[in-house]
Amino acid sequence: MIEYIYGELSELSPTLAVIEAGGVGYAINIALTTFTQISGKERSSSAVGQPCRLYCTEIIREDTHELYGFPTKGERALFEMMMTVSGIGGNTARLIMSAYSAADIRQIIATGNVKALSAIKGFGPKTAQRLIVDLKDKVLKIDLGVEGATMLFDEESAQADSEVKTEAVSALTMLGFAAAASSKAVDKILTQNPQATVEAVIRQALKLL
């Protein structure tokens, strides 16, 4: 089992981080919140070439071998706990963690907030209720404190709208949404708020698509 991967960040997008360690490039699926913590702000290009550590979960099946990475052990524990619920796989758990912060998810589940979970497009009330029922008494036991994760911070100004759109549409497509619909939703959000960050755009789009 891979506990964590530490090395040089060679690629970064809102859904994927590639870390080179020991001459091997590891493609690691990440949630939007992890992307934001790694890059510090919305300009992902500044983080490339910097050291990065992600705590990993491996999902191994006959037809796939995937890695999901998180900046803290607590966030990884929340991800793995959600995957114990019937009907929730790695990509669905990542979608939830892209829509809300780990602290918000823990609070939503603990308080039985079905409405908040159902606001995530494609995540129905039945699945939300099942998630809450299964995890309500467990989720508050997870410690979400920062546990030595390596964060990278960008001190440069915000990137151009076109770059925000490209990264947002790419992330939404990788999360399973149609490219055309994703592009339309992102355009609408950026028209209303031209200064929106990649994270803000994706989170709003998840509730529009």
pTM of the model: 0.71
pLDDT of residue 40: 67
Q: Alpha carbon 45 to chain centroid distance?
A: 18
Yes or no: say if 29 and 68 are a contact pair by the CB < 8 Å rule: yes
Architecture of the domain spanning 161-205: Orthogonal Bundle (1.10)
- Average of pLDDT values for 59-79? 91
- Per residue in 87-103, pLDDT tens? 899 999 999 999 888 98
Angstrom distance (rounded) from CA 185 to CA 129 = 28
Q: For residues 168-195, give the mean pLDDT.
A: 83
The overall average pLDDT reported for the chain is 84
- Domain(s) labelled CATH 2.40.50.140 in the chain stretch across 4-141
> Topology of domain 4-141, per CATH?
OB fold (Dihydrolipoamide Acetyltransferase, E2P) (2.40.50)
For residue 177, what pLDDT band results from cuts at 50, 70 and 90? confident
